Every structure is written in structure tokens, then in C-alpha cells.
A and B are shown apart, each in its own frame.
Chain A
Amino acid sequence: MESQVAEIVQHTGGAIGNAWLMIAFPLVGAFILLVFNRFTNRWGHLLGVAMSLASFVVAVLAFFELIGFGEEERRRAVHLYEFIPGMVDMGLLIDPLSICFALLITGVGSLIHIYSIGYMAHDEHRRRFFSYLNLFVAAMLLLVLADNYVGLFIGWEGVGLASYLLIGFWQFKPSAATAAKKAFVVNRVGDLGLLVGMFVIWTTFGTLTFQGLAEKITPGTQNGTMLAIGLLLLLGACGKSAQLPLQSWLLDAMEGPTPVSALIHAATMVTAGVYLVVRSGAFFFPEGSGAALAVAIVGAVTLLAGAIIGCAKDDIKKGLAGSTMSQIGYMMLGAGLGPAGYAFAIGHLITHGFFKADMFLGAGSVMHGMNDEVDMRKYGALRKAMPITYVTFMIGYLAIIGFPLLSGYFTKDGIIETAVHHQPILGWLAVIGAGVTGFYMSRMIFMTFFGEKRWADDAHPHESPLVMTVPLMILSLGAIGLGGWLVLGGTLYKFLIPAVGGNINEVPHFDFFSTPGLVTLALVAVGVVFAWMRYGRVAVPSVQPRGNFLTTFARRDLYGDALNESLFMRPGQWLTRLAVFFDNRGIDGVVNGLAAGIGGSSGRLRRIQTGFARSYALSILIGAALLTGALLFVGNI
């Protein structure tokens, strides 16, 4: 039988009872660094790292305390305080799902913190950078740990704020300032969906806590309201997770410092949408519902779009950004398939967190050695110059293309096979996407680490310091082994059952020789060989060639920006211009005309005051005569 989501148990004390410390540590860190400003310049980065690590320790302790309970008791709610009286109390929900996220966020987040010590060493605002990183981690933890939608929304907005601050960290660059604003605005569109979704939930069910909803909603209920809520939440998820049609901010977000890209793409932010869908899955995205299908379709379309964009980018970070879009698309596809897909979606989210952070930080390491050059056409033959970065990047690369037995192989293949089983068309699209992934990631590898040197004259590539390479090594260990550990034997699936539902007797069995799996491997191999023929065997031109219309299509991000501009920006500008015109000519005209009329007539009227006493006397006489006449007239009536 289908096992339902477990009951939520109230909990006090212990590491779980004090789970709020997880959020408090980085929040206090951010507070101290921002308030005490430049007094903390010398040791601010160490405080930031320490706070993130402390949060990680609490998460690990909470994890071990959680697995000490029986499976049916692994959903622990911790009441914190009365938040909005009569509406919602602030509390935390520590269950298998949220603890997975908490471990990923604090673990990978801490590694990124450590890496940033080296990467931002020469930046005079390093302390500010660390305060924002801490804020980011705190907001993301609140998002995943809150036991109600209101707390989730606060974290959601906090993540949006922190991403804005970090993408625009080098705000003296107009492109960075614009990118930050764009990310903020596009995210607002998604937030609107989440907010309206919450309104509808409140009016329909009268509660916003996960526990309350679990009591009120019969699993599998489907009607118009549920579908509307599902689609609104999906809109929110699309905004945060950069899914079509709200994907456009992600590529521009590369303007931030590279550790930020790693943090946004691997551990936090973009995973929030997947979390929202999986967390609400039991309520609003039941298996086979329209909302779940919409999630899967959005995921499938985005995974292809991201992969195609990734093929055409010469900027190493933008290539990786396209790949993030694509991989999050896989997760959304998995999240739209019901409990069977949730485990793989979350599994892929975790392994992706490792190998994508690994590659982003690797790209940062390459840029660090190449004077912040991001154009891969200016790279080439870097494998000898930076061996550690090369090896770790290669591991991340092999993991993402799904090289057998590495992390990405298990989780991505799991999503593909589940999708082929449940939604064949979307599943085969995902197979094609995997082939494209093989192509664009290999292209990146060949252009960066192999081939001829195409360096700028003043480039002296060198390996990065240990503070940067050690996190790379740890992350690549995760990229090697984590996937197999999570997927083989259904470890993660069984672990997540209390939180997201599923059937203990139907643990998906990982089949090494299934048809979709083999086709995927074959397509990936074709992609790799094709990339080798285009970028490995022949020399890569150091200036971008013109390319046919398909290439241009991909280089322009599938005209997503052009579409947004012509559909929303231009009409919006016309509207504002119309309003300005109406304001200037209409409203200002009336007010100014009135003032001018009064001014002009009074200017004429004051000429009556001639200064001649006799003319005043005459007017007094006339007035008196008129008054007398009037009185006589009235008296006669």
C-alpha cells in the first residue's frame, strides 16, 4: 500500500529543539559584520566561516538525533514563538527533507565560505562579502526549516535580498548593478505567484502550517482551487529556480563574484523552487494531477533550453549557468512525478550541489589564475598550469555528464528512468538533454584545459592557494561517491518516505542496463565525441566565429531577453511614457492653467489701485450711492 506522509510530532530539547541556532549563527554573523563594519575587517572573514561551520555542526547533530528516532517519528516540529496571533506561530520542522537541505546548505555553503577567503583575498570589501554570504545562508535555512508557508516566505524573500546584494556586489560595474536589479525584478514576479498562492491557501484552508494542511487535505484531492494553488506555487518556484519562463535572470547573475555563483547555483537559491514543489507535493502536486504535470513540463522544457544555451556560451561561467538551468530542469521534472521522482530530484539536487559547486569554484580558480578572464577562447592547455583545479573540474565534469558510477550518473539516470516510466515523452526529452549536456560540458573542458594556449599576453596561469583547492577536493569527493551512496539500495528514497510519501515495498531498484539508461549513455558518448571533433581535434579560434542562426539563437539565450523586452519592458515603458505625458499635459496643465489664470487676472485687477485719492473717493461715492439706492429699492418693495 501507498504509505502516507508521517505525522508531525512536537519536539523540545536536544539538537533538534535548538535547531534555531542553525539560522541564528549565520544571522548573528551577518549582523556583527554589518554593524561593526570596518572594525571587523581583519577577522571578519574568519567569523563568517566560523558561523557557517557552527551552523553545519548543529545540522549534523540534528541529523544524527533525527535518525535516532523510528521512521514514523522523524518529523519533529519545534515551536519557537507566537508570530502572528491567531494566524501562524513561528516554528521549525525538522524532517528528512529539511535536514537534507540543511546539511547541503551549511556543508557546501561552508566550503564556499572557506574558498572565498582565498578568492576574495585582494578585495577591499571582503568583510562585507562575508556578511552577505552569512545572510544568504541564514535566509536559505529559514526557508527550508520553517514549518509554515509564512516562515518559508520570509526566508524566500531573504534569499532574494541576499542574492541581490551579492550579484551586485561589484556595484561599480553597471553590468553587475543591472544584473542584480534584473534578478530582483524577475524574482518578484515569481514571489507574486507564491504570495497569491499563500492567500488562496489561507482563504481555502484557514491555515498556513504544513501540519495544519496535512490535517485538512485528503491526499490526492484534486479540484480547481488545488490546481490554481499548484500553478501559483509553480510560478514562485519558476522564479527562484530560474525555470522557463522566468529563467532570464540566471545568466546575468554571473556578474557577481564566482563564489556567489557557486552558492546561488549549488547550495541555495535555485534549489528553493525544487524544495517548494517537493514540500507542497503531498498537498498540491499529487501524482497525476495537472499541477504536477505542469511542473514536469516546465522542467523538461527548461532542461533542454538550458542545455542549448550552454552549447553556445564562450563565457565559462555563463556556460555553467546554462548547465545549472538545465540540471534544475531535471530536478523539476523529477519533482513533477510524485514520490517516486522526489527521491531522485532531491538526490540530484544534493549531488548537483556538490559537482556544480566544484565546477563553479574550479572556474573561479581558473579565473583567479588568468587575471579574471572568463572567455574560454582565451584559455586552452590549462591542465598543466593548474593540475588540482584540472583534476577536480574533470571529476565534476564526469559527474554532470553522467559518467557511470559517478554521482550524477545515479541521480540523473534515476530521474530519466522514472520520467520515461511515468511521462514517456518528457522522459525521452530528458534523454536528449543528457546527450546535449555531454556535448556542451565536453566543449567547456576541451576549450579550457586542452588544445593550444590562447592566453592573453600578460596571463601567467598558476595554481590557486590551498584555501581554495582544498574545498575543491572535498567537493569532488562528494561528486564521486555521493550519488551511488544515496541511490543504490534506495537509501535516500527510504529516508525521505516519512517526509514526502512513498512506498517502502516499492523502492526503485537501480537498473544499470535499462533501455533509457543505455540510450542516455550512448547519446552522451556521441555528444562527447562530437565536442572532441569540434573543439578537441581542431584548434579553437580565439575570436568568436559568426555562427549560423541556430548558434545566434542560443547565444542570445533563446531570445528570452528579447521576448521579455518586447512583451513586457517596451509596453511598460510606453505605459509610463503615456502616464508622464498625461501628467505633464493633463494634470499639470489644469493646475498650471488655473494658477496662471488667477495670476493673470489678479495682475490686471491690481491696476485698479491707482494711488489717486480722488479716484478712491469717487468709488466710495458711487458705492454709497448704489447702496443707498439699493436700500431705498428694498424698502419700497
Chain B
Amino acid sequence: MTTHYLVLSGLLFAIGAMGVLIRRNAIVVFMCVELMLNACNLAFVTFSRQVGNLEGQIIAFFVMVVAAAEVVVGLAIIVTIFRTRRSASVDDANLLKY
């Protein structure tokens, strides 16, 4: 059983990572990041069940809290960038470079 959960978790993580790497829309990239976080959460919870203690589930809650905070800050940034540049593409926001 554990294996299925872990495979699912790996698949979700891979999909999220690929989304982060190939999609340009900041909102989609953001959702992919959430996907990766939740893939991790799934792995934590799976191992928690298998090992039989609650630490993995507690960590999953922490991750959710961090993800919520991240959403608050991240969305604010994305909205601000969109307001000034009329674009939500992550490739357009590339001023901070050499």
C-alpha cells in the first residue's frame, strides 16, 4: 500500500516540478509549487502511517501553514507585478540580473 501512495506522491511532485520549469504564467507556476508541497505532504503522511507516530502528520500541518503564508505573500507580489507590467509572465520579470 505504502508504495502506491509514494508513487503518487512522486508523480505529483514531478508534475509540479515540470510545471514550475515549463509554464510561464506566474499563477500556474504558483499552483505547481503548491502541488509540489502537497506531494511532500502526502509522502509525510504516508510515512507517518507506516511508522506509526504522529510526527509526519504534524510536519504536514506546518507545511500547510507555510504554504498558506506563501500564498498570501506570493499572490500579493504577482498582483503587484501584473499591475505595473500588465503581464503575469515570470520571464518578463527579469530585471534582477547581471
Do residues B21 and A611 form an inter-chain contact, with CB atoms below 8 A?
Answer: no
**A621 vs B14: C-alpha distance in the bound complex, in angstroms?**
11
Could you mark each residue 80-98 of chain B with 1 if its beta carbon is under 8 Å from any beta carbon of chain A, else 0? 0000000000110111111
**Neighbouring A residues of B24 by C-beta, 8 Å:** 614
B98 x A609 contact (CB < 8 A): yes
B17 CB-CB contact with A under 8 Å: yes
Binary A-proximity of B57-97 (CB < 8 A = 1, otherwise 0): 00000000000000000000000000000000011011111
Question: Residue A84 at the B interface, CB < 8 A?
Answer: no
Contact A621 B17 (CB under 8 A): yes
Given contacts A612-B91, A613-B90, A614-B90, contact A607 B20 (CB under 8 A): no
Q: Which residues of B contact A609 (CB under 8 A)?
A: 97-98
- Asked whether B21 lies within 8 Å of A613 as measured between CB atoms, the reply is no
Interface range for B? 10 to 19
A591 proximal to B (CB < 8 A): no
B15 to chain A, nearest CB (A): 13
In angstroms, how far is the closest chain B Cβ from the Cβ of A603?
Answer: 9
- Categorize the interface residue count of chain A: 10 to 19
Cβ B21 vs Cβ A610 within 8 A: no
Q: Is the CB of A610 within 8 A of B94?
A: yes
| Chain B, Cβ-Cβ closest to A617 | B20
CB atoms of B21 and A617 under 8 A apart: yes
Residues of A within 8 A of B29 (CB): 614
Using an 8 Å CB-CB cutoff, how does the interface string of A582-626 with B read, 1 for contact, 0 for none?
A: 000000000000000000000000111111111001100100000
A611: chain B residues at CB < 8 Å are: 94-98
- A610 and B20 form a contact (CB under 8 A): no
A409 to B94, CA, bound (A): 103
Tell me the smallest distance from the CB of A604 to a CB of chain B, in Å.
10
B interface majority secondary structure? loop
Q: In the complex, which residue of chain A has the Cβ closest to the Cβ of B95?
A: A611
Question: CB-CB < 8 A to A608: which residues of B?
Answer: 98
Are B91 and A614 interface neighbours, CB within 8 A?
Answer: yes
How far apart sit A278 and B97, CA to CA, in the bound complex (Å)?
84
A610 to B95, CA, bound (A): 9
A314 vs B14: C-alpha distance in the bound complex, in angstroms? Answer: 105
A612 and B94 within 8 A (CB): yes
- How long is the Cα–Cα vector from A618 to B22 in the complex, in angstroms? 10
Question: Are B98 and A607 in touch, CB under 8 angstroms?
Answer: yes
Distance in Å from the Cβ of A273 to the closest Cβ of chain B? 73
B17/A613 in contact, CB under 8 A = no
- Contact yes or no, B98 A618, CB < 8 A: no
**A621 to B21, Cβ gap below 8 A?**
yes
Report B19-31 CB contacts with A as 1/0, cut-off 8 Å. Answer: 0111010000100
Q: Which one of B90, B93, B95, B98 contacts A606 once the chains associate, using CB atoms below 8 Å?
A: B98
Q: How far is the CA of A487 from the CA of B91 in the complex (A)?
A: 110
* B98: chain A residues within 8 A (beta carbon): 606-611
Q: Which residue of B lies closest to A613 (CB)?
A: B90
Chain A residues within 8 Å of B97, by CB: 609-611
Q: What is the CA–CA distance of A608 and B97 in the complex, to the nearest angstrom?
A: 9
User: Which residues of A lie under 8 Å from residue B22 when comparing CB positions?
Assistant: 614
In the complex, what distance in Å separates the CA atom of A607 from the CA atom of B17? 25
Chain B residues whose C-beta falls within 8 Å of the C-beta of A618 in the assembled complex? 21
Q: In whole angstroms, how far apart are the Cα atoms of A621 and B90 in the complex?
A: 17
Residue on A nearest B17 in the bound complex, by CB: A621
When distances are taken between beta carbons in the complex, the residues of chain B under 8 Å from A606 are 98
B63 vs chain A, min Cβ distance (A): 17
User: A614 near B20 (CB under 8 angstroms)?
Assistant: yes
Q: Which residues of A contact B90 (CB under 8 A)?
A: 612-614
Residue of B at shortest CB range from A606?
B98
Interchain nearest-CB distance for B18 vs A (Å): 10
How far apart are the CA atoms of A613 and B20 in the complex, in Å?
A: 10
Residues in chain A near residue B21, CB distance under 8 A: 614, 617-618, 621
CA distance A608 to B98 in the complex (A): 8
Q: How far is the CA of A618 from the CA of B90 in the complex (A)?
A: 14
Complex CA–CA separation, A69 to B22 (angstroms): 115
A631 to B94, CA, bound (A): 34
Min distance, Cβ B96 to any Cβ of chain A, angstroms: 6
Identify the closest chain A residue to B18 (Cβ): A621
Q: Tell me how far the C-beta of A43 lies from the nearest C-beta in chain B, rounded to whole angstroms.
A: 75
Q: Which A residues fall within an 8 A CB radius of B?
A: 606-614, 617-618, 621
> 5 extra interchain contacts, Cβ-Cβ under 8 A, other than A611-B98, A614-B91?
A611-B94, A611-B95, A611-B96, A613-B93, A614-B20
Can you list 26 A-B pairs, Cβ within 8 angstroms, ordered by A? A606-B98, A607-B98, A608-B98, A609-B97, A609-B98, A610-B94, A610-B97, A610-B98, A611-B95, A611-B97, A612-B90, A612-B91, A613-B90, A613-B93, A613-B94, A614-B20, A614-B21, A614-B22, A614-B24, A614-B29, A614-B90, A614-B91, A617-B21, A618-B21, A621-B17, A621-B21
User: Which 7 pairs across A and B sit closest by C-beta, in order of nearness?
Assistant: A611-B97, A611-B94, A606-B98, A609-B98, A613-B90, A609-B97, A617-B20
